[in-house]
Chain A
Amino acid sequence: MNLKRLYCNGSSLSAGGGLYENGVKQKYKELYNIEWVDEKDVTYAKYISDYFNLELVHDAQCGSGAPRLVRRTYDFIDSIGIDEAQKTLFLFEITDPIHRVDMFCREINDHLIVNVRYDDSDDGSLSDLSVVYSYSPIKNPYSHNLFEGNIENQIRQYLDNFHDPIVYTDKSKGELMGLFSFMERMNIPFFYMFDNPTLKNNVKFYEELDKTHKLIIEDGIHTTSHFCHKYKLTIKDDTKGFTEDTHPGYLGYKQFSEVAIKFLETRLY
């Protein structure tokens, strides 16, 4: 195995969503005597990189979707070059872009995570909007308050007038196939998990790609979310109902990573 680092990208399911909450952290300390500062240190990406002794580039972000993943992966490959990318194992967790808009903001000269909800209205109009740089307090220079008011209103206006979630999602499907094709052609190792298989609209393309690039956990279990729900290893389960948060819990990540490591061992050696 000629790998130097692991690059992980995905949503809260990979980023340790929910595990950054202070109350949750305290509960874990109380129940299990487990402590952490950065929630990413207790996610599957960290365990996998530790096991294989790889440097970790943990680029997953709560609230992010496929568009950010595609953009940041190209950027990362560009920044390290193809040779180094070939020595990097990429782990992708793909979530539906429909609620996850990747948007540049000149105010901070960086991209924001824009989460939208349409489900409270029959006409498909926006019902809920959340604009953040990052949900996690770790390595987050921007308070959520910065985006409340003006920026949020402007984004709402944009989404109301210039954004169609279906069209946006369809666009992402092509971009994902492009990214995977590019990486495969350049012999850059990667594995993916799709939280929602409808994103794999091009059946023939993915039938072929799945054979070599799908991170296989078990039948019907594609992501940490499926795994933790099945085995009752969500934060809610771990904390005995202290919270309603059903993101993967500490124990869920740990067990998931053990299964993933076994799979990766069969593919990487």
Chain B
Amino acid sequence: MKWWKYNTIYASGSSLTAGGGMNVEMNKKEYKKLLDIDIKNEKDVTYPKYISDYFNCKLIHDAQSGAGAPRLIRRTYNYIEKVGIEEAKNTLFLFEITDPVHRIDFFLNDIGDYVIVNVRYDNEGDNDGNISSIQIQPTTTDDGIYYSEEDLQKYVNQVKIHLEKFHNPVTYTKKFIGEIAGLFAFLEKNDIDFLYQFDNLTLQQPFIEFHKTILKRELRVKNYNSINQYAGFQNLTVKDDLKGFTDDLHPGYYGHKLFAEDAIKVIEEKLKPKLYVFGDSHTQSFTSHNNARSQWAVDYIKHIGYVPKNYCDLISEYYNIEVLNHGQGGTSNYTIFDRFIEVYKKIESKDIVIFGWTSEGRFRISDDVNNFIDVIPFNPHPKQNDDVPKNVTNTISYNKVTYNVWWKEIINFINIAKGLLPKNKNILSWTWVDSETIYPTRIWSEEMLADKNLCVFLTSWLESDDELKNLIKKESDLIVDFSKDVNLDEMYKSMQEGKKVTIINGNDLSENIRNFMKDKNIRTKIYHHNNYKKECYKLFIPYKKYTTLKDETNNVVDDLHTSEIGHKELFNDLIKNIKL
């Protein structure tokens, strides 16, 4: 189960989770006698154990009979404090929340740990809320020492006296209702995954608006709030299992087992990531191309004799996750990003998002009936709007492939996507477009040349790549290096003679130079040294030229789309970059 990212399940709750009822010796014997079920440790037959076994991860089973929310909150913070937030992110927390009113988390100095004190108020006829009885649950301290109910009996009277004078069940419950919300908010804030069951939904009531924001964390199984309801309403209690041998209504052996089976489906549904892919024909599946009768795909499939899987299918298969493929042949990066914008609200933080960016030369115009249509320049496709001749779209496209500033758009698209999905760890990009940068053949326009007071100002010579340096050298009659001694009069004279002057290393101009330029009304046109294409490729997985149909079929299919082998190569590269 490669999508499962957790190494530990931490379960906390009450007897409903701890296997209450199945810990009773008489009941254990009856299970053996009646159903031939051997229960040694009751926690081994509870739903957390089945769930952790299914997902093959370690279980910290911290539920305890009699425990309530206060203990759950305290021990969860303690656990996170102990393992650290980063490690806690590898833990899936399963919480079963019960009413704190009868469940007090009480510290005993003598044993140096907390015990569970269960309180009853219900025997009083006058309903004055007085405590009628208390029970201190057996406990094993963090240092492994076991204290039986008998060991703890000596504290009962003293604890009861204290509670009678210094405890109010309503106030106590109210305090922990807030703190449950606090714990859940803390876990959410830190991207620590958890699922909860509330046996009593009124515990959410004061902060219902908060709880609505974390509904995705609810472990609602077959529409039951909790395992208690699941087992109770479906006759799966200990009493039911043992045919009335006991009146114990805790979830029974089968209750836990069936609940676990159903809960696993819910957990998979909630936690399994989906794969969202956006791109062009290299992302669209071969099946889809084949159905659309794309000639290159039909020829290739005929050549290899089957419909191959592309990288999206392979990732989906590898993780056993659903793929939502928004790739479409012929689209421009604008359309690719648009598709993302249309669906991003459905993308959850657990999901994987992959962009397969296409050629920067593609763009969109409106067709004759007011729809965006992608233009693939320099090919035999017909023009897309009668008012926009092909030479116009070709000219625009030439501009787009020769000025790398256009890649700034892709950088922005990626940054927007990451900004919209701040919690998604897996937003990956790749492209089939060659990584080489093409520069234009000139810098100076006619208008610039006509302006005798204008020079070009390169923002950084040192950081310019060699191709840009060569272009500057080739296109400049005079390069003035402001980091050295400069003859300003000569520079000005050259400009007045209509020579092409480029200033380099001029970021920190002296007052003398600034005054000179101001006096002579010398203006500059800034040429940014940035190679936006290179910057953009840094946001992609490392560029590689993947095997094409043409390579793989030895020119039998003369097409440059990514082949089956290419997709496998791409799949391997992407997998290395996915961190669940």
Q: B109 touching A82 by the CB < 8 A rule?
A: no
B572: A residues at CB distance < 8 A? none
Q: How many residues of B contact A (CB 8 A)?
A: 42
Q: B85 touching A106 by the CB < 8 A rule?
A: no
A175: B residues at CB distance < 8 A? 73, 77, 179, 182
Which residue in B85, B109, B167, B186 is a CB contact (below 8 Å) of A104? Answer: B167
A259 on interface, CB distance cutoff 8 Å: no
A77: B residues at CB distance < 8 A? 178, 207
B268 on interface, CB distance cutoff 8 Å: no
Nearest Cβ on chain A to B491's Cβ, whole angstroms: 46
Which residue in A154, A158, A182, A204 is a CB contact (below 8 Å) of B181? Answer: A182
Q: Which of B158-166, B362-370, B381-389 contacts A (4 or more CB under 8 A)?
A: B158-166
Within 8 A of A (CB), among B178-200: 178-179, 181-183, 185-186, 188-190
A174: B residues at CB distance < 8 A? 73-74, 76-78, 81, 183, 186
Q: A178 touching B81 by the CB < 8 A rule?
A: no
Which residue in B106, B109, B185 is a CB contact (below 8 Å) of A178? Answer: B185
Binary flags per residue of A74-96, CB closer than 8 Å to B gives 1, else 0: 11011000100000000000000
B81: A residues at CB distance < 8 A? 170, 173-174, 201-202
Bound Cα distance from A175 to B161, whole angstroms: 27
Bound Cα distance from A133 to B81, whole angstroms: 33
A29 on interface, CB distance cutoff 8 Å: no
B342 on interface, CB distance cutoff 8 Å: no
A74: B residues at CB distance < 8 A? 174-175, 177-179, 181-182
Closest to B171 in A: A104
Nearest Cβ on chain A to B190's Cβ, whole angstroms: 7
Bound Cα distance from A167 to B213, whole angstroms: 32
Q: A105 touching B165 by the CB < 8 A rule?
A: yes
Nearest Cβ on chain B to A138's Cβ, whole angstroms: 24
Bound Cα distance from A167 to B164, whole angstroms: 23
B168: A residues at CB distance < 8 A? 104, 106, 109
Binary flags per residue of A166-201, CB closer than 8 Å to B gives 1, else 0: 011011011101110110111000000000000001
A103: B residues at CB distance < 8 A? 166
B112 on interface, CB distance cutoff 8 Å: yes
Q: B210 touching A82 by the CB < 8 A rule?
A: yes
Q: A155 touching B78 by the CB < 8 A rule?
A: no
Bound Cα distance from A161 to B168, whole angstroms: 20
Bound Cα distance from A216 to B114, whole angstroms: 38
B542 on interface, CB distance cutoff 8 Å: no
Within 8 A of B (CB), among A95-143: 103-107, 109, 111
Q: A162 touching B207 by the CB < 8 A rule?
A: no
Q: B166 touching A202 by the CB < 8 A rule?
A: no
Q: A154-B165, A162-B108 are in contact. Are A181 and B182 (CB under 8 A)?
A: yes
Within 8 A of B (CB), among A41-80: 70-71, 74-75, 77-78
A163 on interface, CB distance cutoff 8 Å: yes
B209 on interface, CB distance cutoff 8 Å: yes
Most chain B C-beta atoms within 10 Å of own C-beta, residue among A160, A178, A186, A202 = A178
Bound Cα distance from A75 to B170, whole angstroms: 12
Bound Cα distance from A25 to B77, whole angstroms: 45
B440 on interface, CB distance cutoff 8 Å: no
Q: B210 touching A185 by the CB < 8 A rule?
A: yes
Closest to A167 in B: B107
B210: A residues at CB distance < 8 A? 82, 182, 185-186
A244: B residues at CB distance < 8 A? none
Bound Cα distance from A78 to B78, whole angstroms: 26
Q: A75-B174, A154-B165, A174-B81 are in contact. Are A205 and B107 (CB under 8 A)?
A: no
Q: B166 touching A158 by the CB < 8 A rule?
A: yes
Closest to A102 in B: B175
Nearest Cβ on chain A to B160's Cβ, whole angstroms: 12
| Tier of interface size on chain A | 35 or more
Q: A104 touching B185 by the CB < 8 A rule?
A: no
Bound Cα distance from A89 to B305, whole angstroms: 69
A35: B residues at CB distance < 8 A? none
Bound Cα distance from A77 to B209, whole angstroms: 12
Within 8 A of A (CB), among B135-163: 158-159, 161-162
Bound Cα distance from A77 to B177, whole angstroms: 12
Q: A161 touching B108 by the CB < 8 A rule?
A: yes
B497 on interface, CB distance cutoff 8 Å: no
Q: A182 touching B109 by the CB < 8 A rule?
A: no
Closest to B174 in A: A75
Bound Cα distance from A154 to B162, whole angstroms: 7
Q: B109 touching A162 by the CB < 8 A rule?
A: yes
B190: A residues at CB distance < 8 A? 181, 205
Q: A178 touching B179 by the CB < 8 A rule?
A: yes
Nearest Cβ on chain B to A263's Cβ, whole angstroms: 24
Q: A204 touching B179 by the CB < 8 A rule?
A: no
Q: B185 touching A171 by the CB < 8 A rule?
A: no
A164 on interface, CB distance cutoff 8 Å: yes
Binary flags per residue of B88-107, CB closer than 8 Å to A gives 1, else 0: 00000000000000000011
Q: B213 touching A185 by the CB < 8 A rule?
A: yes
Bound Cα distance from A182 to B185, whole angstroms: 5
Q: A161-B110, A178-B186 are in contact. Are A155 and B166 (CB under 8 A)?
A: yes
Nearest Cβ on chain A to B173's Cβ, whole angstroms: 12
Most chain A C-beta atoms within 10 Å of own C-beta, residue among B108, B158, B189 = B189
B76: A residues at CB distance < 8 A? 174
Bound Cα distance from A202 to B85, whole angstroms: 9
Binary flags per residue of B516-560, CB closer than 8 Å to A gives 1, else 0: 000000000000000000000000000000000000000000000
Nearest Cβ on chain B to A141's Cβ, whole angstroms: 18
Bound Cα distance from A103 to B175, whole angstroms: 12
Q: A164 touching B185 by the CB < 8 A rule?
A: no
Bound Cα distance from A140 to B112, whole angstroms: 36
Residue positions of B touching A, CB distance < 8 A: 73-74, 76-78, 81, 85, 106-110, 112, 158-159, 161-162, 164-168, 171-172, 174-175, 177-179, 181-183, 185-186, 188-190, 206-207, 209-210, 213
Q: A158-B162, A174-B81 are in contact. List 16 more A-B contacts (CB 8 A).
A: A70-B182, A71-B175, A74-B175, A74-B177, A74-B178, A105-B166, A107-B165, A157-B158, A158-B166, A174-B76, A174-B183, A178-B181, A181-B185, A182-B186, A186-B185, A202-B85
